[in-house]
Structure 1
Amino acid sequence: MRWKVPAGVLVALAFLIPATPAVAQTESPGLNENCQTVERKVYKDIRELVTIDLDTATDREVRVLTAQILAAANADSFSVLPRVIQERLNGPADELRAFLKADVQKAWSTDLRITVVRTLTRAGANVKAAAQKVLDEAAIDAYLAYLNNGLYAARALDCAAQPTPTPTATPSATPSATTTVAPTPTSSASPGVPGGEGGGLPVTGAGTATVVSIGGVLLLLGFASYLVGRRRRSRFVA
């Protein structure tokens, strides 16, 4: 019971320890399940945090190490390991020491396996094959290698194999059917000629001279015929 208050303090300090690389690191961008470029998440190898001899370390050093592991587990969004650590922090130091030596990797391995299984959601053929191989191997190193690198390599292959979407054709503004424009009818009558369109001035020139000549000839013939007929009638009376 005497460790309950110090344990709570350690849990709070676990998120404020600047010297520990507890938070998840990021590297070069990768692709998510929607083939969109995102920051690649790197899962921390918790074994690298154990830099003390658990057999000879003081109780305080053991609890500080436990708090660092808890911060790393929370940063990686694990569920099993943080819950188990919270329970151990409220217990005796000897039990916490034994947990770090024997059981912490078991809980951590369970969280890594759950995370690998989650990557199968909406996964392509390459991701499924890579994940299944790792799940069959069931080793911490295989889980970390897949989550940090193998997943993104397999996903890149799946995204590259997807067909390129065909752009939707935009309807053309020009109508498909050809519209035939009827030619404008032209009048055979020249402008200005009676009966024609336009009501313009009379046509003058060679055509007018011909009409006048014919009219003059007809007028002379008519006058000559009149004189001949009158002369005949005069002779008959005499």
Structure 2
Amino acid sequence: MRWKIPAGVLMALAFLIPAAPAVAQAGSPGLDKACQTAERKVYKDIRELVTIDLDTASNTDVRVLANQILAAATADSLTTLPGKMQQQLDGAADGLRAFLKTNLQTTWSTDLRVAVNQTMTAAGANVKTAGQKALDDGTVDAFLAYLNNGLYVARALDCASEPPPSASASPSPSPSPSVSASSSAAPALPVTGTNIFFLVLAGSALILLGSGIVLVARRFRT
């Protein structure tokens, strides 16, 4: 009974150890979409995992390989492959073997194409040009070369051609509203009380009128 425990441990390690590098895929620092320094996302070349002969390998070896591919596809956030691989693992051994032989490459290539297109959304001119070149090539090697290196080279060029974040973030000074002459001048004081000028004028007129009446009255008396 003792040999069963080490065998079980080795089987568990066969599933877990190969998957560990795929989960922690990260490359040298690069620039993200916001032109900030971040770790590169490195897409795994799944072909390197296929080290067995799918025609002659045992069902156990095929399942180990399928789990390794599932871990790598999940770490890369691929669109379709993780779900299809899990579906095949839940099914019959013959179906899993057939999928690995015939459909794995096509499904993986389609997911890489989708990943390339996603990087081109709202991207700069250099990224779009490099991404389109990879799409036009259409091979897995071109997709991987772009996603793992070409994308970051093109993004660095786009970020270098853009204004620095501080300049682009600060809003352009809006023209100050023109101040009219009436508003720029000192505000006029409100007119209060009686107008002194008119009072003086009226008083002078009354005095002159009174003086004239007095002179006329004196003349009549004389």
TM over 0.5: yes
TM-score norm. by structure 2 comes to 0.66
Larger radius of gyration: 1
Task: Structure 1: give runs of 5+ residues left out of the alignment.
Answer: 1-12, 170-238
Provide Cα deviations, 1:164-203, integer angstroms capped at 9, x if missing partner: 428789xxxxxxxxxxxxxxxxxxxxxxxxxxxxxxxxxx
Provide Cα deviations, 1:49-90, integer angstroms capped at 9, x if missing partner: 111111110011101110110011111111200111122112
| 1:168 to 1:112, Cα distance in 2 relative to 1, 3 A | closer
For residues 41-60 of structure 1, the aligned pairs below 5 Å read 41-60=41-60
| 1:94 to 1:136, Cα distance in 2 relative to 1, 3 A | same
User: Aligned partner of 1:153: which letter?
Assistant: V
Provide Cα deviations, 1:79-135, integer angstroms capped at 9, x if missing partner: 200111122112221221111111111111111111111101220000000001111
In structure 1, what is the Cα distance between the partners aligned to 2:78 and 2:49? 17
Give the aligned partner of residue 147 of structure 1: 147
Give the aligned partner of residue 185 of structure 1: none
In structure 2, what is the Cα distance between the partners aligned to 1:107 and 1:82? 10
Q: How many residue pairs were aligned?
A: 158
Give the aligned partner of residue 104 of structure 1: 104
User: Aligned partner of 1:65: which letter?
Assistant: L
1:38 aligns with 2:48: no
Displacement, 1:163? Answer: 2.6
User: Aligned partner of 1:28: which letter?
Assistant: S
Task: Structure 2: give runs of 5+ residues left out of the alignment.
Answer: 1-11, 173-222
In structure 2, what is the Cα distance between the partners aligned to 1:133 and 1:14? 40
User: Aligned partner of 1:100: which letter?
Assistant: L
Deviates most, 65-74 or 22-31:
22-31
In structure 2, what is the Cα distance between the partners aligned to 1:114 and 1:15? 30
Give the aligned partner of residue 72 of structure 1: 72
Displacement, 1:16? Answer: 6.1
Give the aligned partner of residue 92 of structure 2: 92
Give the aligned partner of residue 113 of structure 1: 113
1:162 aligns with 2:171: no
Equivalent residue of 1:25, what SS? Answer: coil
In structure 1, what is the Cα distance between the partners aligned to 2:28 and 2:15? 26
Contact 1:29 1:40 (C-alpha < 8 Å) held by counterparts? yes
Give the aligned partner of residue 17 of structure 1: 16
In structure 1, what is the Cα distance between the partners aligned to 2:47 and 2:54? 13
Give the aligned partner of residue 176 of structure 1: none
| 1:123 to 1:97, Cα distance in 2 relative to 1, 3 A | same
In structure 2, what is the Cα distance between the partners aligned to 1:168 and 1:80? 42
Displacement, 1:26? Answer: 1.4
TM-score norm. by structure 1 comes to 0.62
In structure 2, what is the Cα distance between the partners aligned to 1:14 and 1:91? 23
Deviates most, 83-92 or 125-134:
83-92
Equivalent residue of 2:100, what SS? Answer: helix
Provide Cα deviations, 1:28-49, integer angstroms capped at 9, x if missing partner: 1000111100011110000101
| 1:130 to 1:78, Cα distance in 2 relative to 1, 3 A | same
Contact 2:27 2:39 (C-alpha < 8 Å) held by counterparts? yes
User: Aligned partner of 1:59: which letter?
Assistant: N
In structure 1, what is the Cα distance between the partners aligned to 2:14 and 2:60? 17
Contact 2:25 2:75 (C-alpha < 8 Å) held by counterparts? no
Equivalent residue of 1:22, what SS? Answer: helix
In structure 1, what is the Cα distance between the partners aligned to 2:88 and 2:152? 35
Contact 2:30 2:37 (C-alpha < 8 Å) held by counterparts? yes
User: Aligned partner of 1:125: which letter?
Assistant: A
User: Aligned partner of 2:94: which letter?
Assistant: D
- Larger fraction in helix: 2
